[in-house]
A and B are shown apart, each in its own frame.
Chain A
């Protein structure tokens, strides 16, 4: 399943599963991630799965590239708790105050915003990975009609809770941060909970996300 394995610097292994972004390749990455977590190779400090790559960093005081590479290739890859595709429902308010790029989306896609939102909400999205900042999910795939590049000039501040779309992907900004994705709405629900350290993420890789619309008063009075 790993097409190529190489070093990333002197303290990480770079496992390449291919260049395409598909659920199949991604679930192979997750299988490796889970099997490595179970097999606990001495010295591993972090394992980072993404669409089609897996990066394993290690403590250079304990192990070196050639040794860890062999150990990684030796471990038995099992389908540990195969993804059950848990369905996560996420409320979204698309009031003009939150749908920051309504104008841009309409203009670039040559569709009215109502139609764009309908296409967006009609689909279910697969979570490929989480990260960049804590808890941010990378979801896909956006309907081909709605695929659009990032903003030419990224926003200095994207509000927390914003739902962004770009190309085939959607994400949720778990913190206020700079960003260039097209913002279609905002969710009042908590996506990352640092106080729940065993299970801090609302959306995990392999989950299926269903967005649904709420109105502004529901948004403002949201209570979990």
Chain B
């Protein structure tokens, strides 16, 4: 018999009670009464620890889940050519409404994140502009159109192609309306399309055209083209209202050439002389050696007088004595340098440009400073052609309109007439990539690729080709317009095949298609300057027809370097870039002179109390401007360098809200700024942006303008702060090239003088700095303040956009800014631009005050910021004499662990934090969280990369030896004038060492503080007769 083990007598005897209990599954009492429910249960002593354990664990799990999980999905299969963490570079081309800049796109893990200038380009030589740098952000713009639409409804390409083909077949009189297209293959596509549809034509429309120059050249030289201006060959440069460093025709190219003549060699101090005539302060005018102010309507009289003066005749028609003397001096400076002089004019008046041509002929510029062998294809639009098209549309003779990269509804002066005309066009097709003002009027929309998604080519100047290749698969259901035209034109190939076959024959041997694509550029132009035959017959008529000067207050519209004709309006980087002239962001405004401010605004800037009040309050007085009976209101900013009876307003604002969140003012929920294009005038066949007969009236309203700099003078009531920056005239410099050294010696005399300053200025012994030591040199003569470096820095270092409400509170985050100071005449001052970034001081005042050592010095001389050590006391920022440290006042980047704490921020921040926009972030650079300080790191990620490259190749680092570079920091790379040199100062052969050795203009900002900066500047020299 089986042995029985028992636990209780009940079990042994198998009692009733045992039988009952053995059937009960839960022998122990449940810890709560089933009837009363769980919440009323008492916690027995034995269960207490269980509960405690469970709740602690649950709370810990719940608490540790607060950070939202973001998914990063690895590649299932390693794609060819993509190594995670290693960037690929593809040469491509920035093309926007005729502007062409060759670039190299940095692509990380399949997404382009940064554009670098293509140093192989013969035109820009690696230079870029702020707009080029910012264009990568447009790729990830959430407001881009994502699919083709018919009447606003989504459709697919097959359907839309079918419908449009049918429509076009019956439309008759098809017009292709585009901004300037300088892509040879695209022009070929257009020709093929036009051939298919007889009676169709192609009209070029530029938002701000150069019709005046084109037509004048047709008259004077028989060629309706713009030649190449060679600012590098000119010893005397005279510009009459041409903002050639910022917005006029080909500014990046001109900036590079201009700097060539401005940089000074110590051994032989010579530089070009730049005389500027203008009405409203511009970037180019701010860089001029001498600036004369005039009314916009006086332009004709000035060029006529200048013509007389260079001919040696007496001047008539200029009543302003200062101006008259200026013209005489200008003529003298020009005639002294015949063959090395260049006169350019920004006027769109044909007659004026004909006179300019005549002046340049007398100065022997033809073939010397104006190259007719090399034609600039950036601007081809003729205003009359478009005006004719508007008439035709109103007459109902246009059957179909295809709009490529043009937005006349926004930019054309008579947009009411244009809109009625458009209503009469049966078939309207837009290739706009965003729902801009013109695209909204079109029934069919086939959004174009971003240029970083496109194939293509461009010929900015004759023989200088630049190629475009996709750097990313199209993000949306978009298509290149060339593909559409080919398809509708009945071609069997797509654009890529067409492009290849177009170039196949032209690119042979060593210049193969692959090579051209790899280089990004292909140059067949010669270096020899060409002439053109001049024909003076129409000159007399032009002089006779010049518009006479007007009286009363005049208004001039101008383009800002960042916003342009409106192309940059939806780009938050560009909107937040302080305008170099006004230092304002996120708005347009009325620019008034200090003289007019006294009468109009009742503000006298020469009185400290009034200027203080004006400066410290961002709320600026609003002025009502009556133009042709229409009233607009804008806040007024006082900008010296503006003619006392002229006011200026920037174009490019007041965009349609469909362009995206970034064009909307958070507070008012209206568009940012005011669109002033409708107030432009059409005079003698060209659009003029000079308006007379306006009335200004001060209102009692105010409007906040987000300025990033409020005070502009370094001369204070308690001394001239020449330790900050140094400027002098060429005469002074020639007389004594050691003048800057002597000035420094004097400043440091109390601390041991120049030689012993480093040792005697401190109680600590100097320490050795072996190995690499980084340094930067900025030539104030090369810097024209364009701001390309600023946006390059934004893109490279993930610098936050903070939006207007935050900039208003002085919360902007720029690591690099361009300070602008005035000196001399209060109404027409000398302007100096000083790029200001972390100076990486060897004896940094920020480092010793941080309680947690979050900012410290590297052995290579970098002042480093350790973000995750920073607790945000801001003492470092207070103690930084250069005020370059930036604090994360709010969660600008979405990298904070508090949920929903961006709700109170603004549109711009929300835009920058969309998943799509965040694709632009550089994965090599930490995104800073709220509450920490950040600042320029000298692009430490690039430095590490460069060092690694040299190490892998087993050789010393190269920073400019024989112009070979292992690395360039972002600002340096983007600079169109090579004004920034960066490198290893311990290497005697590096560019930076040479630059420091060679120049006596070297100085350190605020050197006497003994903070020992690693950034030096070269003093600004002006080619003027007067003392600075």
A, B bound: no
